[in-house]
Structure 1
Amino acid sequence: MSSATRWLLAISLLAGFVFSSAQPAAATARDWTATWTASPQRPSAGFAPNWSEQGFAHQTVRQTVRVSAGGVAARIRLSNAYGTTPLTIAGATVARTSRGAAVRPGSLRHLTVSRARTFTIPVGAELASDPVPLRLATLESVTVTFFLAAPTGPATFHAQALATSYRAAGDHTADIGGEAFTQTSQSWYYLSGVDVIGPASRNGVVAFGDSLTDGATSSTDANNRYPDELAERLAAAGRPHAVLNQGMAGNRVTVDSAWFGDKATSRFRRDVLGQAGVRTVIILEGINDLGISELAAASPAPIFAPYPDVSTEKIISGHRELIRLAHTHGLRVIGATLPPIKGSAYYTAHSEAKREALNAWIRTSGEYDAVIDLDRVMASPSDGDRLNPAYDSGDHLHPNNAGYRAMAYAVDPAVLVQPRGAV
């Protein structure tokens, strides 16, 4: 399909036509660019009280996210990856965000699947809505609302949203105001992606990793995670990219966890290769493989299970598998070294030796197409094994807002658009 044909389809959408998901002309991967994502997780107690284990019944959930690249039409992706029963959405809408749980008048659109306003997502599946004619600007916030009439059972979610989600009793999918949404949570539920049709080139970037990518300790509702800061930097420079955050707090390269998600080598196909319009992936993973075993040895708790002592060689083997998967699918893959951890609960002489060995391999092996040396960018000027105090959230492991901004500015925009094999 030519570029001109794709734009004619987009114009048709704006004229009021709604394409069914069964019509491939409007749903081909070449037309869509993923502009926001969150990696699905199993229901669990999580890091803070949440609604995942109890699920929902006769309730409306309203969630706001910020897109990284704009477009003239959108579709919403919902995931039932870890559900135990089919998930029926009794009604859903999308709208531009106003403030809090309120949306902008005149922007609300009903979501459909194959033109039906009620639709069901099978167990283990993700489903995309039909396209809706909703023009979104780069870095604009969008609100997705859905009504769950029947009991859902435990809910697929993303534990650490660092954003406020809202819940109301009854069906409030078409509400413009936010008065009914009196309950809040700091997780995302079922929402796994927002895609757009628009002028953005197919230069999407996935930031793939753990809590350092997920944005742990950054400010709530402020979009200070490093992928957010990177999207802002690129937009300010006049070259906006879709930047997708597929971080998951606690995630490991080599170990599956009930709390911290499927290991990186398992979820990479879904969270990176399954995203539309992606050209580059930045991998920042491994700190939990080498640190959780040290933390659990001192203070064992079910949240960390299992916690094997993972060798540097095994972590490197996992990185190699991620590189191979990315290259097999034509993606440019960039490796980021692990920032300093001295003074944190993860730090011992044993874990530090493994961190230094892993970083040396990332820097010097030549297996990544490019390297972002966060170890050196984030280090204290007086002690290279510690986070710079100006970037330290206080736990000596996670950055503060300034630290996440420094991480984003460590990314050379030129490496995001170079062809594979370029240095």
Structure 2
Amino acid sequence: MRLRRWVVAAGVAVASMTVTVPAATADADGAHWVAAWGAAMQRPTPGTEDNGPNWSVKGFDDHTVRQVVRVTAAGSRVRIRLSNVYGTKPLAIAGARVARSAGGALVWPGSSRPVTFAGKQAASIPPGKELVSDPVALNVSPMERLAVSIRVPAATGPATFHRFTTATSYRAHGDHLDDVAVKAFGEATQSWYYLTGVEVDNPGGAVVAFGDSLIDGVGSTAGADVRFVDQLAERLGLPVVNAGIAGSRLLNASSCYGDKAVDRFRRDVLDRPGVTRVIIHLGANDLGYPQVGGACAKPNRKVSVDQLIAGYRALIDAAHARGVRVTGVTILPLRGSLFPFWTKEVEAARTAVNQWIRTGGAYDAVLDADRAMADPAAPGTSRPGYLFMDGLHPNDAGHYAIAAAG
């Protein structure tokens, strides 16, 4: 297929051009699978006052977990991708189902379909591995919400998960895969567990948004799907996968915020089916964490502009080697944040990094989130009307401004 290349200028003159987008890879049965939803997986970590409780550390024991996701592409068949990447023992799956969401934990009657793995309802996922299901016959529409239910019959130990979401997941004790009603699903949390992808049979190419809390949607209204990544999916009419992890860094890992980006890039971006473009926003936490205490920020050693650029180039080179085009996103203003990120030294580094992103020529396109958020009356800060209460992340209006710039 062919697509108009989209570029954010925001004051930088960048020519638009037409590029050829390769189709998703065909399976032996002729299916062209493309990623339509996704989440980047993390190690289990306790909940916090800001993010609320989660079930990752204890895991599950004789539970049904129901998770609602919004797919960004149409298809006549779907399949799910489950992850036990950070598990300490094999993950037993007794069954799974996919259905149309009717809101909350409710599913549309008559829409639920069984999911199989190599022809069987049950499966076991070894530690460190992912598992892709068999195709499920279900016609889905772009931006439709699906409910994916997973049955875990025994104690799992610590659970591979995605910590921060703007969605709600539910669980019930016992086997409730076939339940349409919500009565049994009396527990809820704003994290995703084991489910790392939903893929559809579609000839198009997917975009993956990869990075930190800006990509993950911090500051946007929960349950509203108004992250700038969500809005780009609506505007572009393309499958868009969110592989952001709030707190993620380019060059350093964290026990709370996932592997460093240069280590997780292949799994979270390049190994997803049908990916043709990646959007990258990283660097703010690399610059800011040296000023932050606490275990989650460790290691919090300083990084230089040259080290960040080398990290960006490593991602760009890896993407280009797979025929994937790369859009770089400038780092948002940091001054005025409740987080102690900003210093004169950090601001100088942020400015230098953003200038390289805009003019260095390494990226195929640039989305200038910095200029979209910037307050003309106060250089180096964001417009007050675009800010979430933490003074750093965009609110709904800020996410809209960034998406509109794209």
TM-score computed with the length of structure 2 as normaliser: 0.91
Q: Which residue of 1 aligns with 2:301?
A: 308
- Runs (4 or more) in structure 1 with deviation over 2 Å come to none
Instruction: Say yes or no: does 1:395 pair with 2:390.
Output: yes
Q: After superposition, what is the alpha-carbon deviation per residue over 1:220-255, rounded to whole angstroms, capped at 9, x for unaligned? A: 111111111111222xxxxx2001101000000000
* Equivalent runs, 1:234-249 vs 2, <5 Å: 234=236, 240-249=237-246
Return the structure number with greater strand share. Answer: 2
Q: Which of 61, 69, 72 is matched with 1:57 structurally?
A: 61
Instruction: Say yes or no: does 1:353 pair with 2:348.
Output: yes
Offset at 1:381? 2.0
The RMSD of aligned alpha carbons is 1.3
Offset at 1:49? 1.0
- Counterpart-to-counterpart distance in 2, 1:179 and 1:233: 37
- Counterpart-to-counterpart distance in 1, 2:171 and 2:370: 40
Q: Which residue of 2 aligns with 1:230?
A: 232
Instruction: Say yes or no: does 1:269 pair with 2:275.
Output: no
What secondary structure does 2:280 align onto? strand
What secondary structure does 1:232 align onto? helix
* Equivalent runs, 1:325-364 vs 2, <5 Å: 325-344=318-337, 345=339, 346-364=341-359
Return the structure number with greater helix share. Answer: 1
- Counterpart-to-counterpart distance in 2, 1:378 and 1:246: 22
Q: Which residue of 2 aligns with 1:404?
A: 399
- Counterpart-to-counterpart distance in 2, 1:407 and 1:243: 16
What secondary structure does 2:376 align onto? coil
Offset at 1:24? 4.9
- Counterpart-to-counterpart distance in 2, 1:69 and 1:376: 30
* Equivalent runs, 1:16-55 vs 2, <5 Å: 24-26=27-29, 31-46=32-47, 47-55=51-59
- Counterpart-to-counterpart distance in 2, 1:156 and 1:111: 20
- Counterpart-to-counterpart distance in 2, 1:62 and 1:245: 19
Instruction: Say yes or no: does 1:212 pair with 2:214.
Output: yes
Q: After superposition, what is the alpha-carbon deviation per residue over 1:35-76, rounded to whole angstroms, capped at 9, x for unaligned? A: 000000000014421000000001111000000111110001
- Counterpart-to-counterpart distance in 2, 1:188 and 1:144: 11
Q: Which residue of 2 aligns with 1:324?
A: 317
Q: Which residue of 2 aligns with 1:6?
A: none
- Counterpart-to-counterpart distance in 2, 1:120 and 1:319: 36
Question: Quick check: 185-194 or 225-234, which moved more?
Answer: 225-234
Instruction: Say yes or no: does 1:281 pair with 2:285.
Output: no
- Counterpart-to-counterpart distance in 1, 2:89 and 2:388: 40
Q: Which residue of 2 aligns with 1:3?
A: none
Q: After superposition, what is the alpha-carbon deviation per residue over 1:147-191, rounded to whole angstroms, capped at 9, x for unaligned? A: 111100000000001211001110001101111000000100000
Offset at 1:292? 1.1
Q: After superposition, what is the alpha-carbon deviation per residue over 1:75-116, rounded to whole angstroms, capped at 9, x for unaligned? A: 011000000000010111100000110100111001100110
Q: After superposition, what is the alpha-carbon deviation per residue over 1:120-152, rounded to whole angstroms, capped at 9, x for unaligned? A: 111111111100001110000000001111100
Percent of aligned positions with the same letter in both sequences?
50
Q: After superposition, what is the alpha-carbon deviation per residue over 1:334-387, rounded to whole angstroms, capped at 9, x for unaligned? A: 111111111112111121111001101111111111111111111012113111
* 8 Å CA contact retained: 1:386, 1:396: no
Higher RCO (Cα < 8 Å, 6 or more apart)? 2
Offset at 1:396? 1.9
* Equivalent runs, 1:145-164 vs 2, <5 Å: 145-164=149-168
Would you say how many aligned residue pairs link Structure 1 and Structure 2? 376
Q: Tell me the amino acid that sits aligned with residue 351 of structure 2.
A: E
TM-score computed with the length of structure 1 as normaliser: 0.87
Offset at 1:393? 0.5
Q: Tell me the amino acid that sits aligned with residue 326 of structure 2.
A: V
